[in-house]
Amino acid sequence: MGFFVCFVISSVCFVISLPSGGTEMAAEKDPVCGMTVDSDKAAWNYEHEGRKYYFCARSCFEKFSVDPLKYLAPKPVLVSLGGLGSKPSMPATMKKKAPAKQEYFCPMDPEVISDRPGSCPKCGMALEPRIATLDEGENPELTEMKRRFKICLFLTIPVFLLAMSEMIPGQPVQHALGHRVVTILQFILASPVVIWGGRPFFERGWASITNRSPNMFTLIAIGTGTAYLYSIIATLLPGIFPDSFRGHGGEVPVYFEAAAVITTLVLMGQVLELRARAQTSSAIKSLLGLAPKTARVIRSNGIEEDIPLEFVVVGAKLRVRPGEKIPVDGVVIEGSSPVDESMLTGEPMPVEKTPGDKVTGGTINGAGGFMMKAERVGSDTLLSQIVQMVSEAQRSRAPIQRLADVVAAYFVPAVVAASIITFLAWSFIGPEPRFVYALVNAVAVLIIACPCALGLATPMSVMVGTGRGANSGVLIKNAEAIETLQKVDTIVIDKTGTLTEGKPRVMAVFAADGFEQNEILKLAAGLESASEHSLAAAITAAASQKNLPIAGFSRFKSITGMGVTGQADDGRQVAVGNQKLMDSNGIAVEPGLIQKAGELNSEGQTTILISVDGKIAGMIGIADPIKDSSAEAIRQLHQEGLRIVMLTGDNRTTAQAVASRLGIDEVIAEVLPEEKHEVIKKLQGESRIVAMAGDGINDAPALAQAHVGIAMGTGTDVAMESAGITLVKGDLRGILRAIRLSRATMRNIKQNLFFAFIYNALGIPVAAGALYPVFGLLLSPMIASAAMTFSSVSVISNALRLRRLKL
């Protein structure tokens, strides 16, 4: 009776917690078929752009959810343009893109893809959208399971009361109605619960058999089906059973209450599981919620107008007012304002934006207003790419999942075998009534086993972990990167753009005898104007600031790792580069310049030498400021037990000066771009687990070679494509966040796997009756069902703890 009290109280409380509709009747029109639907009773609804639509059937819901705009015909808003007449505010050329067709996947088996909602044919789990949307409404699977649970609970409670009435002293119910009537009442009440309420489980169980992928629903279907069919036969044909099946009163016991309670508890477990799983996509939904619904476009005639975000095109001029969300990615062209980027980067301090600065869609404008030019819209924006990357990462498999996959492949057949062995053992050596004990314990073994807990252990943690990372500016490409990063012991960091700002500036210009500073700068800027190197940009910027005319050049030649050469329009041969370039051309450098170069290098500056017609002409000192956060990030990485290696093409003196200021363990300098991945190989050959952090095109091979590549979000698309992790902020502190996230996620996965293995390792023997010889205890199939439900929900709940992880 204790279990019954707990069951009733928990179930009633659970029903009370379920959202209920209003009491008033409300007629709505199905947007697909046009049928009038009672919104209070409709099982299917879908929220789109703030409005909820109701459907008469699942087929209408599925059609609408794939393409709402097909069934909603929005009319263009007309605005007066004063004297020009009225016309639609949306030009005919600004067509709204048709939404991509939604696909659904299975969290446990990501390779299973469907074009509609349903259940996975391999594991039986409800499929989830590949990319979450804000207006998708409540999961229709959850809505249906809640409806089935409520009705089945209403029918199951009297079945349970009737079954337990035999335990009341004097058995008043049995005497009043008779044993036969009580049994028939249980049959009548339990049948809709098992047949209708348990139909999804039987369908999934049968699908698993036809697909040769037995799963949790295979066991549930066999267990409840066996108990129910046995009870029907015992009710209709009790005379065919021998004494070994009869109780002490001579009656053949039935287990309608076991079949009904198990079905109802599994339904409750599905509701709890679907609710918990819905929370794993909360990170993506919060990212989607960052984008505003509209943007304020400035027309060519100066008129400003609010238009839907999807109508913004590249090149459009947009007005962003104080406190508004920035609609798309672009560049500020007028005005200035602080912008809160914390929702994408995790950095709490606003960043001042002025003309020429990049702004990102979804970030929040501060106190000032500005005008911007749209550069990336739609799926090309950073926010859209983040959502896409997180969605793909959540569907990826971590290597540790292979262990669970191997176990799961043999798990269900092993459980069925254990159930058969249990039945045979109790049938031959169990107490009387032997076959009754055998049946109950065999069903308990089937019900308590939970392969679902094993299958969910890894993907749930990965889904929540990648979402948590995205909210802190750490974008994870796949689950393998999470698992590998927590093993890393060495981090190789490219200097330029990673440790430094990546915005070098000319600090000094020195002229040799017979040359002037401005002449040197003019020649160097003219030759470097054809180069894309960051140092070249610094030289051309310095010449531009002094309003120096840029010299014209021909026969431009870039020599990797050394510099550039060319012929000026006046016929002079000019070379701009490092000492290696001068040596290769046989150009002697004055002792005074060599000494000065050493001094600048010791201060962390890079020195560029210039020669004219085979004679040294001068030198330019360039400094790339170290990021304010680099020193603190290096210190914290050391506290995590990591070895830091700086990799750079700069000369050793300059590199060592930067390393000493930051406390870096090892410096590898004067490395050519094509040699970087060889350096990574060498470190890996020393049995180190290496992560590489970089931001440039020439870092891509090294990022791909490393065990884990970390791309700085301020860098190139090529670098990000080669990396397993991208830091939106381009800040070294993001590496620390990524490592903490990786370690916490893997710890969470191991906790889930440990619990799932221990639960099944202990639960199955207990259900088989292992405690009976010593303690005289047997596990009811109903309690086994509750335990099975708890195991899946507990794994998901543990994974959800990662949402509160402090990074």
Pairing state of beta strands 490-494 and 364-365? unpaired
Q: Measured in Å, how far apart are the chain's first and last C-alpha atoms?
A: 48
Whether residue 130 contacts residue 106, with contact meaning beta carbons closer than 8 Å, is answered with no
Count CB-CB contacts under 10 A for residue 665: 14
Structure tokens at 89: 């505010």
Pairing state of beta strands 78-80 and 86-88? antiparallel
Q: What angle do CA 145, 146, 150 make, to 5 degrees?
A: 115
Task: Give me the sign of the Cα torsion angle 793, 794, 799, 802.
Answer: positive
Task: Give the active site residue among 30, 109, 329, 494.
Answer: 494
Whether residue 218 contacts residue 180, with contact meaning beta carbons closer than 8 Å, is answered with no
Residue 337 CA to residue 667 CA, distance in Å, equals 40
494 included as an active-site residue: yes
Q: What angle do CA 630, 631, 633 make, to 5 degrees?
A: 65
| Amino acid, single-letter form, for residue 780 | S
Structure tokens at 534: 């960051």
Phi, psi of 333 (to 5 degrees): -115, -15
Residue 229 CA to residue 217 CA, distance in Å, equals 17
| Amino acid, single-letter form, for residue 146 | K
HSE-CB of 645 using CA atoms within 13 angstroms: 19
Residue 341 CA to residue 347 CA, distance in Å, equals 7
Structure tokens at 335: 């005005």
Residue 604 CA to residue 595 CA, distance in Å, equals 15
Residue 184 CA to residue 195 CA, distance in Å, equals 16
Beta pairing partners, 34: none
CA dist list (Å): 552 to 489, 521, 527, 534, 536: 50, 13, 8, 20, 15
Q: What angle do CA 503, 720, 310 make, to 5 degrees?
A: 95
Whether residue 511 contacts residue 523, with contact meaning beta carbons closer than 8 Å, is answered with no
Edge-to-edge order in the sheet of strand 505-511: 505-511, 615-623, 606-612, 573-577, 563-568, 553-559
Residue 747 CA to residue 475 CA, distance in Å, equals 19
Question: Which residues does the annotation mark as catalytic?
Answer: 494
